[in-house]
Amino acid sequence: MAMLFSAHLFIGILVWLSAGDFSYGDDSGCVGWDDKVEDLLFSPLRDQIEQAATEFYSLPDFDSNLGWGVSIKSHAGKVGDLTSFDLVHLPYVRGNASYMCSSADGSNITLAIDVGLNDLDLELDSFITTLPVLPNIGNTKTSIRNSGNAVSISVSLISDSDSNCVASINYFQLRELGDTWVNFEHGWFNSVYEFLINHLVN
Domain that holds residue 62: 2-200
User: How far apart (Å, rounded) are the C-alpha atoms in residues 128 and 74?
Assistant: 7
pLDDT at 183: 92
Select from 155, 149, 150 the least CA-distant residue to 8: 155
Record the pTM. Answer: 0.65
pLDDT at 162: 72
pLDDT at 180: 87
Segment-wise mean pLDDT, segments of 10 residues, the chain, 202 residues: 45 45 49 89 85 69 87 86 86 86 83 88 88 87 89 86 78 87 90 89 72
E-strand stretches of the chain: 30-32, 58-59, 62-67, 70-79, 85-87, 98-102, 108-130, 137-159, 165-176, 179-184
Number of domains in the chain: 1
Cα separation values, 12 from 29, 44, 55, 115, Å: 22, 11, 20, 18
Q: CATH number of the domain that 182 lies in?
A: 3.15.10
Which conformational region is residue 6 in: left (phi greater than 0), alpha (psi within -120 to 50 degrees), or beta?
alpha
pLDDT at 20: 41
Select from 54, 60, 196, 78 the least CA-distant residue to 141: 78
pLDDT at 25: 38
